[in-house]
Amino acid sequence: MSDHHLGTTHIHTVWGRDLPPALSIQPGDTVTFGTLDASDGGVARRVVAGQVEARAELAALVAADAFPAREGPRGHPLTGPAFVEGAEPGDVLVVELLDVRTAPWGWTACRPNGIGLLDAVLAGEGLQPYTHLWDLRAGTHADFRPGIRIPLAPFPGVLGVAPAEPGPHPTAPPRQVGGNMDIRQLVAGSTLYLPVEVPGALFSVGDLHAAQGDGELSGTGIECAGQVTLRFNLERGAGLSTPEFVTPTHGGTSRRWHATTGHDPDLMTAARIALRALLRRLQARGLSLEEAYVLSSVCVDLKISQVVDAPNYTVSAFLPLDVFAEG
């Protein structure tokens, strides 16, 4: 068993079974992956260009990550792939998350007509492009504004292996072999099980989040660079058809929650109804529409409350009240 380090000089932005391995490892080996933020340095470049405002105490940290734009296809900047010796189609790659560490800063954004749950709806209400920069140096929490503090629970949004189908494949949609799943319960102490479809598995990781609510509602959590330490093993011929995981956490640790509900025959519509009601609650606390949206994305959990009471499904949006100093 060996320890390895794979840095951010080994980045790819698509999935593919023909990508050349950046590292070859044995089952039982541990790898620390350096990762870049989901914008591939784009937010930092916008800060340096004066397009996004940064507080003085963050400006130098952000500027250090404003590397030149990458050529080639756009996608999540993923570190890898790692070739696991002996992994064959039909096996299961067992990935133990040993440690997840964030960079000292991160960002969350929203924009009209983007990928967020309410982007199209809020565009008609005057939603403006907005990027919030976070100071992550405390390690345990990040302040959104005075009186609003978000607990940090870092995890990689993208963990996956190469699909069998010829590529290249975009990184945005998750697949039966993992990828951009954005499962916030995949924190340190978790174990992820991925179906292997190509020899060597070709595992890659990226898209760290310092915090995120279930749903990633505005399209971003607290996006950041960082390091992920993983240990790899194999289960032979297990025949898994979709990713599975074991986690030490099921959700947030708030003592009290305020929940809004949505009811509709369409789950997405029900989710939008619940979230819009919650944004109104946050706006009543003095937040702008943009602030309410990005804050929801990093701490509000969407949950399916029922799917059996025809004709309507019920979705609930849970706001952890402990993020507020006054509760």
Question: Rounded to whole angstroms, how far apart are CA atoms 166 and 5?
Answer: 28
User: Residue 320 has what pLDDT?
Assistant: 97
pLDDT in tens, 110-149: 999 899 999 999 999 999 999 999 999 999 999 999 999 9
Q: Classify strands 191-195 and 3-6 as parallel, antiparallel or unpaired.
A: unpaired
Question: Rounded to whole angstroms, how far apart are CA atoms 180 and 93?
Answer: 17
Region 234-248 average pLDDT = 94
Asked if pLDDT for residue 251 goes beyond 80, the answer is: no
Percentage of the chain beyond pLDDT 70 is: 100
* Count of alpha carbons within 13 angstroms of residue 326, beta-carbon side: 2
Q: Which of 46-50, 57-61, 122-126, 250-254 has the lowest mean pLDDT?
A: 250-254
The closest alpha carbon to 228, from 4, 1, 2, belongs to: 4
Q: What is the mean pLDDT of the chain?
A: 96
- Residue 3: Cβ within 10 Å count: 11
Predicted model pTM: 0.96
User: Residue 327 has what pLDDT?
Assistant: 59
Q: For the purposes of burial, counting CB atoms within 10 Å of the CB of 21, is it exposed (0-12), middle (13-18) or buried (19 or more)?
A: middle
The closest alpha carbon to 19, from 156, 158, 157, 166, belongs to: 166
- Residue corresponding to tokens 């072999």: 177
Question: Rounded to whole angstroms, how far apart are CA atoms 176 and 186?
Answer: 17
Question: Rounded to whole angstroms, how far apart are CA atoms 317 and 213?
Answer: 10
Asked if pLDDT for residue 252 goes beyond 80, the answer is: no
Using DSSP's 3-state secondary structure scheme, residue 126 falls into coil
